[in-house]
Amino acid sequence: MAGPDSKDFMNSQHFSTKERILGAAEQLFARLGFAGASLRQVTAAANVNLAAVNYHFGSKENLINEVFRRRLDELNAHRLQALDEALKLPDTGLEPLLSAFINPALDLSLDRGGGGAFVRVLARAYAEHNDALRKFLSDNYGHVMKRFHAAFAQRLPDLDKEELYWRLDIVAGALTYAMADFGVIKRKSGVTEQQHRERSAEHLIRFAAAGLRAP
């Protein structure tokens, strides 16, 4: 009756125990939260022994960190690459910078294979304000936000440093939340995935630019 759907598909022998745990954890953290999803649920969904989490990751907290690392390494690399290219162009305002930040995440949220779940996990992390997690993210990816911060600061010279800092934080939070919902919303028929992605990005960029340029 039920063929292997996309959720169970990766619980097969084609993926290592570590990969299956990470995939199942991502799905369940997105759905139930970090505190709400138990290791017993994760290991059952991954078709793996309960002790495997502590064997491969040491602890639940570290598993959470690795769920982030797996996606953020690539995501932030794409962001920095896009930022570099945006900075090569003549100064054309905030929009190219926002594109560099948003488009890699939107690609992730719309692709197959769990990226959509991860974007929802990210949205949860923002809402959580979890200290340990924030430290991990700051330690590992703080330099990315620093690069973006510097680029925005250069294009918004009248905004003082502190003001810019929390505006970027709010913009990042709002965008993260919005992208988490884009993954859930199905696009209208007659619109290709590519068109949907481009329109979504446009909306978000206008949205964010207006917030940042507020006097």
Partner DNA sequence: GTAGCATTCAAACGCCCGTTTTACCTACGA
Partner DNA sequence: TCGTAGGTAAAACGGGCGTTTGAATGCTAC
Q: Would you count residue 107 as binding DNA (CB under 7 A)? A: no
The contact mask relative to its own copies for 71-110 (x = CB under 8 A, - = no) is: ----------------------------------------
**Among DNA, its own copies, none, what does residue 7 contact (CB within 5–8 Å per kind)?**
none
Alpha helix locations (H) across the chain? 6-9, 17-32, 39-46, 52-57, 60-88, 95-110, 115-128, 131-155, 161-184, 193-213
Q: Is 60 in the site for DNA (CB under 7 A)?
A: yes
Instruction: Decide if residue 4 touches its own copies (CB under 8 A).
Output: no
Among 33, 58, 93, 142, binds its own copies (CB under 8 A): 33
* Token pair for 67: 């769920």
Contacts of 31 (CB under 8 A, 6+ apart): 37, 117
Can you tell me the distance from the alpha carbon of 122 to that of 128, in angstroms, rounded to the nearest whole number? 10
Both tokens of 201, joined, read: 């990005």
Residue 156 touches which member of its own copies, DNA, none, C-beta under 5-8 Å by kind: none
Which window, 39-47, 91-99, 135-143, 168-176, contacts its own copies (CB under 8 A)? 168-176
Asked whether position 180 contacts its own copies by CB under 8 A, the answer is yes
Any alpha helices (H) in 33-94, and if so which ranges? 39-46, 52-57, 60-88
Per CB under 8 A, contacts with its own copies among 109-148 are 120, 123-124, 126-129
Is 94 a residue that touches DNA (CB under 7 A)? no
How big is the CA angle at 7 (ends 118 and 197), to the nearest 5 degrees? 45
Does 193 bind its own copies (CB under 8 A)? Our answer is: no
Return the number of the residue (32 or 87) whose C-beta is nearest DNA: 32
